[in-house]
Amino acid sequence: MKKQIRKYSPLIPVYAAYLFLFLIGRNLPGMWQLVAMLLFYCALGQAFNIFLGMTGYVDFGYVAFMGVGTYGMALAITRLANVEGLATAIIVIGFVLALFMSTMLSIAVGAVALRLRGAYFAIATIGVNEGFRFLIEGAKIWNGSEGIIFTAQLNQILGREAASALSIFWADVMVLVLAALAAFVTLFYMRSKIGYALTALREDEDAAKVMGINVTKYKIIAFITSACFAGLLGASSWALKTPYVFPPEVFEIHYTIEAIIIVLLGGAGTLLGPVAGGLIYGISKYYLSVFLPGIQLLIFAPIIIVIIVLFPEGVVGMLKSRLKDSTLARFLI
């Protein structure tokens, strides 16, 4: 038992951070939406890191998984809204559908893209992202470009009060749960065979293959896990919090870029990295837009360049190497 605790102790700073955020959000007026935004970024970073951090592959089409997750929830709500007696179960069905759809898509993408490496992989995933979006618009699937607006149906299913509480609070709690879960899964993978295999892969893929490690199997596992989290994140933070879905918005590559920034700022492949990155990114963006509206990107962009040049391994990565021999090292993985 003690060994288990030691094994999972790096989760302590992560969960402490989330708990801290939760308490601030609940107790300081008006902070919950900001906390929700920060949690979104942290969850995004943690989910993205599961694949990126461990394998070093950049999935530029990541947002597609969030997109299908959003559609999954939206479809569940709109198609089942009139079925009697299901009520809250519809939300659960929505999550299941989101999970299912993102798994399916990730298997499809993985089959094509995971044979490729480096930049080719990155671009192939963009191809899937954009291709899928144009398929939805072109073949008019799920209402095509007109998207789906479903606040009314959500009100119908849950009643106005509950639906409102869902959109402004419980959806974000779900995001918190996802962030915590993603952190747990990241650590679990890191400490298991998968972690060793993927670290070997990241260092030198060919050598790993020669050593007999089934590189493909582990890549796929990490890829699908990461995609599933994305789908659930889309279902909660996009579908439930924002009851509408328009294809160009949910396939916007901008979110993948944000995920990359968050993971990089914090430190790819570390556990605490995405949390740190999410917080730094979210807080900076927020305060810059409050105090310097209109020019915050002008300030933010060079800051990012400076940080990347000075700390290419990210903040946590840098801390990790500096504090290697101290007692804190246990928590900074």
Partner 1 sequence: MVLEQLAGNLVQGVVLGSVYGMATMGLSLIFGVLRVVNVGHGAFMMVGAFIALWFFNFLGINPVIAILAAFVIGMGLGFLFYYTAMSRLIKAPELATLLATFAMGVLLQEIVKLIFGSEFRGYNWAVGKISLGITVLPNTKLLACVGSGVIAILLYLWVNKTRAGSAMRSVVEDSEGARVCGVNVGGVYALSFALGIGLTVASGVLLTMFIPVGINPYMGGGYTLKAFVIAVLGGLASPYGAFFGGLVFGIIENGSYTLFALMEGVEPFALTRFLSFVILLAILLIRPTGLLGGK
Partner 2 sequence: MQQKDIKKVALFFSFFGFLLVGFTLHSAVAETKDKIVIGHPACLSGQYAKAGEQAVGGIKACIDWVNQEYGGLSLGGKKIPLDYKYYDCESNKEAVTSLIARLITVDRVNVVFSPYSSGLTLRGAPVTESHGMLYMDHGGANDDIFRQGFRYVVQTIGPASLYHRGTIDMIHKVDPSAKKVALAYEDSEFAKMVMKGAEAHARQVGLDIVFQRTYPKGVTDLTPLLSALKAANSDFILGGGHFEDGQLFNRQMADLDVDTKALSLIAAATLPAFYEALTTMAEGVMGPSHWEYGVKYSLQGAKKLGLPWIGPNQEEFVALFKKAVGKDMIPDYHAAEAGAQVLAYVLAVEKANSLESDKVRAALGDLTFMSFYGGWDIDETGLQIGHSMVDVQWQAGKRVIVWPEEAQTGKLYYPMPTFAEKAKGKRAVH
What residues line the site for partner 1 (CB under 8 A)?
Answer: 52, 56, 58, 112-113, 115-116, 118-120, 122-124, 126-128, 130-131, 134-135, 137-140, 144-145, 253, 257, 260-261, 263-264, 268, 295, 297-298, 300-302, 304-305, 308-309, 312-313
3-state secondary structure of 60: coil
Q: Which does 30 bind (CB under 5 to 8 A by kind): partner 2, partner 1, none?
A: partner 2
DSSP 8-state code for residue 142: G
**Minimal distance, residue 278 CB to partner 1, in Å:** 15
Distance separating alpha carbons of residues 107 and 228, to the nearest angstrom: 11
CB of 144 or CB of 312, closer to partner 2: 144
Select the residue interacting with partner 2 from 168, 299, 303, 305 (CB under 8 A): 168
Residues 169, 174, 179, 184, CA torsion sign: positive
For residue 148, which of 249, 255, 44, 232 has the smallest C-alpha distance? 249
Residue 242 interacting with partner 2 (CB under 8 A):
yes
Residues in Cβ contact with 72 at an 8 Å cutoff, skipping those fewer than 6 apart: 94, 95, 97, 98, 99, 100, 101, 102, 231, 234, 235, 239
CB of 179 or CB of 263, closer to partner 1: 263
Q: Which does 141 bind (CB under 5 to 8 A by kind): partner 2, partner 1, none?
A: none
User: Which region, judged by CB under 8 A, interacts with partner 2, from 83-91, 157-165, 192-200, 210-218?
Assistant: 157-165
**Minimal distance, residue 109 CB to partner 1, in Å:** 9
b (16+ CB within 10 A) / e for 131-151: ebbeebbeeeeebeeebbebe
Distance separating alpha carbons of residues 38 and 40, to the nearest angstrom: 5
Q: Cβ atoms within 10 A of the Cβ of 319, count?
A: 20
CB of 141 or CB of 323, closer to partner 2: 323
Residue 165 interacting with partner 2 (CB under 8 A):
yes
CB of 114 or CB of 183, closer to partner 1: 114
CB of 229 or CB of 255, closer to partner 2: 255
**Minimal distance, residue 299 CB to partner 1, in Å:** 9
**Minimal distance, residue 50 CB to partner 2, in Å:** 21
Residue 57 interacting with partner 2 (CB under 8 A):
no
**Minimal distance, residue 242 CB to partner 2, in Å:** 5
Distance separating alpha carbons of residues 165 and 184, to the nearest angstrom: 27
Q: Which H or E run contains 51?
A: helix 32-55
DSSP characters over 74-122: HHHHHHHTTSTT-TTHHHHHHHHHHHHHHHHHHHHHHHHHTTS-HHHHH
Q: What's the residue count for the chain?
A: 333
Select the residue interacting with partner 2 from 15, 164, 173, 253 (CB under 8 A): 164
Select the residue interacting with partner 2 from 12, 16, 23, 33 (CB under 8 A): 33
Residues near partner 2 (CB under 8 A): 24, 28-34, 36-37, 40-41, 134, 137, 144-147, 149, 151-152, 155, 160, 164-165, 167-168, 238, 241-244, 246, 248-249, 254, 283, 285-287, 289-290, 293-297, 315, 319, 322-323, 326
